[in-house]
Amino acid sequence: MAQSPPPTSGTPSPPASTPPAPANRGRRTWAWLFGLLPIALVVGVIAGYLAWGPDDPTRADPNGSGSDPTASPAPLTLQIGRDYYVFVKTIELYPRQPGNKTWDKLDKSAPDIRYSLTWNGHTGYTSDTRENTLIGLWDPITIDVAEALPMLGEGKLELRSTLNQGAIINATDDQTLTIDVWDEDPTGLGKDEAGQVVINVADLLQGDQTLTFEETETNAIKRIVIGTTDTAQPLQSLIEALSSPNSP
C-alpha cells in the first residue's frame, strides 16, 4: 500500500532567490547618484578652470571683449563750453622745405623752427625759435616740477610765471585751431613757410595728441605733438598733467 509523504511542520521555506522590492531598488539608485556627485563637482571645477583660467583675457571683461584692465584709459574728448590750454610740445619737419628746396640756402643748415596758434580768427600765441633743428621741442612748464610743487605748497607759485603761454581756447563744435609753422630766417630775410595745419576743435583730445602729415609740395610738417588740458583744474593737477616727458 502506498505511503503518503510525511507532513511538513512550520512555515514553508521561501524560494532560493527572491527579487528585491521596488523600494529597495530606488534607495540603491539614489545612493549611487549621490556617490557620483562629488566626482562630478570636481570634474566641473577642473573643466571650468581650464576654460576660464587666469590666462584667458575674457576673465577681465564679463562681456567677453578681452580688454586689458591694466591698459591706459582712452583719451577724453574736450567738453563743449569749457576752456582749455593748448600747447605745441613738438614739431618735426621733413629734411627739405616745400618745393624740395633746402632750408637754409647759405650754409644748408637745419631750419630755425617757429610757430603760431590761431583760434577764432585771432593769433593767440607765437612761439620763440628753435634754431638749426628738424625737431623743435617746447616745454609748457617753465620751471622744474620738483621745484614747482614745494613752492605751490608755500603759496609762492603763480600760474603766469609757471606756464609758457600757449593758446587758451573755448571748446566748440564749429571752431578751428590753426597752427602755422615756418623757418625763421635772420632779421631782414623774411621766413620760409613750412606748412599750415587746421584742426577742428571738436577733434582735439585731452592730454598729449600726436598728429602726422605727408610731405607734399606745400607741406614740410612731418609731426606735431599737442598738449591740451582743462584750465579749471587745480594748479598742482595742471602742472602734473603738463609735465609728461617731452621727447623727440
Contact 84, 66 (CB under 8 A): no
Terminal alpha carbon distance of the chain: 133
pLDDT in tens, the chain (248 residues): 445 455 555 555 555 555 555 555 556 666 666 666 666 666 666 666 665 555 544 444 445 455 555 666 666 889 999 999 999 999 999 999 998 999 987 777 899 999 999 999 999 899 999 999 999 999 877 665 555 556 555 554 555 555 666 888 999 989 999 999 999 987 667 789 999 999 999 999 998 999 999 999 999 999 999 999 888 877 666 666 666 655 55
pTM of the full structure: 0.65
The Cα 114–Cα 182 span in angstroms is 6
**Beta pairing partners, 177:** 119, 199
Residue 134: the pLDDT is 97
The Cα 217–Cα 9 span in angstroms is 127
The Cα 90–Cα 248 span in angstroms is 7
For the chain, domains (ranges, CATH) are: 31-70 (no CATH), 83-242 (2.60.40.150)
Cα 39 from chain centroid (whole Å): 46
The Cα 153–Cα 235 span in angstroms is 11
Residue 146: the pLDDT is 59
Of the candidates 176, 137, 172, 149, the one whose C-alpha atom is nearest the C-alpha of residue 237 is 149
State the amino acid at position 215 in one-letter form.
Answer: E
